[in-house]
Structure 1
Amino acid sequence: MTALSSSQAPALALLAESRLVPVLTIEKVADAVPLARALVAGGITMLEITLRTPAAADAARAIIAEVPEALVGLGTVTTAKDLELARSLGARFALSPGATPALLDAAAALGLPFVPGIATPSELMAAVERGFEVVKFFPAVPAGGIAALKAFAGPFPEMRFCPTGGIGEDQAAEWLALPQVVAVGGSWLAPTKLMRDGQWSEITEIARRSLAKLPR
């Protein structure tokens, strides 16, 4: 096993166990812990904190410190500096919407479990060349949906995918029924309006309901 495949194995295992990954854009640090607790109460423990707001790093830090049941990773990782931030915070994994050569090299050097993003055959080939075993298919629905993922899987039957982007509660099960899909990511699990209104019990219910719809 290469150093990269060894470092990616935990990411693959986490995704396969979790199956649903909430894509969280947290606007206020004060929302981080109650949000994480709401999702954990609903049965979802793998949390992707996107680096899309100034609060993101502190939000991740707060969840890691106060919600030990949560498996926290950083999303929207686009630079080597973002990867270093993830490691310094104690994140368990990192995900990216894409995959530049510099980012792939940095991931290999750091050894942090990392899932790069792909949307084309060439991007998938670049990830395969570097030894990646699981990638984020993003944006999944705009990039061609299930038909596109099946086409990717033909030449690369061993590759595993975490499709994200445009998938909702009622579509997740269809994606997870594909043998190549280990998990599905989505923002539907924690809608922005519910976070802004502090409707944590409703987020817990969405998590429970979404998990109940998945194939056994």
Structure 2
Amino acid sequence: MREIDQRISEIGIVPVIRLDHPQRDAVPLADALCRGGVPVAEVTFRADGAAQAIRMMKESCHEMLVGAGTVTKEEQIDEAIDAGAEFIVTPGFDGELVAYAQERNIPIYPGCTTPSDYHAALKFGLELIKFFPAEQSGGLKKIQAMSAPFPGFKVMPTGGISLKNLAEYIKSPVIAACGGSYMVTADLIDNQRWDEITQLCRQSRSIIEEARGVRRQ
């Protein structure tokens, strides 16, 4: 895997974040995530100001790996790169977006849930892909089944991931990391409950480390 893929895998969990008030929330949220041992964020373009949030989070927490999520247009890739994004995540597989991201030399993790998606990702030389929405699309059992004909992929499932099933996913050798919003819900962010976010991140890291320890034995 590339260095950036490896960094994501080492952390094991990628918070999927929607920020409606980046000027107020981006910096304290970045601090909360870093304090919790999760220095990575996928900031979605579902909210205005995503690029501003990416820029502010990256500037306030230099060790943080910040990417753009829910990217559906080439212009958003440009906007994300200009803001300092280090990776792109798309909800589905769009060959034109993948090609453009590769042309711009930025890692892209497209959403893939079908054999056709996997075939397309294979043609573009991708190694790490998103599986979205994970639970609604068959969950870990489908991911493991898909790995039989496509053993070269590592997968980042997103959608329906929580503290309750995080260990189950992360134990699987095919899983590089999980994406989740349970530690960055709208309620937690809107009410600026930064300490709770930090605590949820620490819980997540503890689960990941324990699960991987069991796997390595």
Do they superpose with TM above 0.5? yes
Give 3-state SS (helix, strand or coil) of 2:169's partner: helix
Q: Percent identity?
A: 37
TM-score normalised to structure 1 length: 0.93
| Aligned residue number for residue 118 of structure 2 | 124
Q: 1:14 & 1:98 partners in 2: Cα distance?
A: 23
Does the Cα contact within 8 Å between 1:142 and 1:165 map onto a contact in 2?
Answer: yes
Give the unaligned 5+ runs of structure 1.
1-7
Q: 1:50 & 1:165 partners in 2: Cα distance?
A: 14
Paired AA for residue 23 in structure 1? V
| Aligned residue number for residue 38 of structure 1 | 32
Paired residue for 2:13, among 12, 16, 20? 20
Shift of 1:97: 1.1
Does the Cα contact within 8 Å between 1:11 and 1:115 map onto a contact in 2?
Answer: no
Give the number of aligned pairs.
Answer: 209
| Aligned residue number for residue 173 of structure 2 | 179
Does the Cα contact within 8 Å between 2:33 and 2:40 map onto a contact in 1?
Answer: no
Shift of 1:125: 0.6
The equivalences for 1:129-144 within 5 A come to 129-144=123-138
| Aligned residue number for residue 95 of structure 2 | 101
Shift of 1:165: 0.5
| Residues 122-131 or 77-86, more deviating | 77-86
Q: 2:137 & 2:78 partners in 1: Cα distance?
A: 29
Q: 2:170 & 2:35 partners in 1: Cα distance?
A: 22
| Aligned residue number for residue 3 of structure 1 | none
Does the Cα contact within 8 Å between 2:54 and 2:84 map onto a contact in 1?
Answer: no
RMSD: 1.2
Paired AA for residue 140 in structure 1? A
| Aligned residue number for residue 83 of structure 2 | 89
Give the unaligned 5+ runs of structure 2.
none
Does the Cα contact within 8 Å between 1:115 and 1:136 map onto a contact in 2?
Answer: yes
| Aligned residue number for residue 198 of structure 1 | 192
Shift of 1:69: 2.4
TM-score normalised to structure 2 length: 0.93
Shift of 1:157: 1.0
| Aligned residue number for residue 182 of structure 2 | 188
Task: Deviation per CA, 1:33-81: give whole Å up to 9, x if none.
Answer: 1011001101000111111111211111111122212111111111211
Does the Cα contact within 8 Å between 1:139 and 1:164 map onto a contact in 2?
Answer: yes
Paired AA for residue 30 in structure 2? A
Does the Cα contact within 8 Å between 2:30 and 2:60 map onto a contact in 1?
Answer: no
**Which contiguous aligned blocks of 4+ residues in structure 1 show a shift greater than 6 angstroms?**
none
Q: 2:48 & 2:87 partners in 1: Cα distance?
A: 20
Q: 1:10 & 1:81 partners in 2: Cα distance?
A: 26
Q: 1:113 & 1:102 partners in 2: Cα distance?
A: 14
Paired AA for residue 34 in structure 1? P
Does the Cα contact within 8 Å between 1:48 and 1:73 map onto a contact in 2?
Answer: yes
| Aligned residue number for residue 144 of structure 2 | 150
Q: 2:47 & 2:183 partners in 1: Cα distance?
A: 18
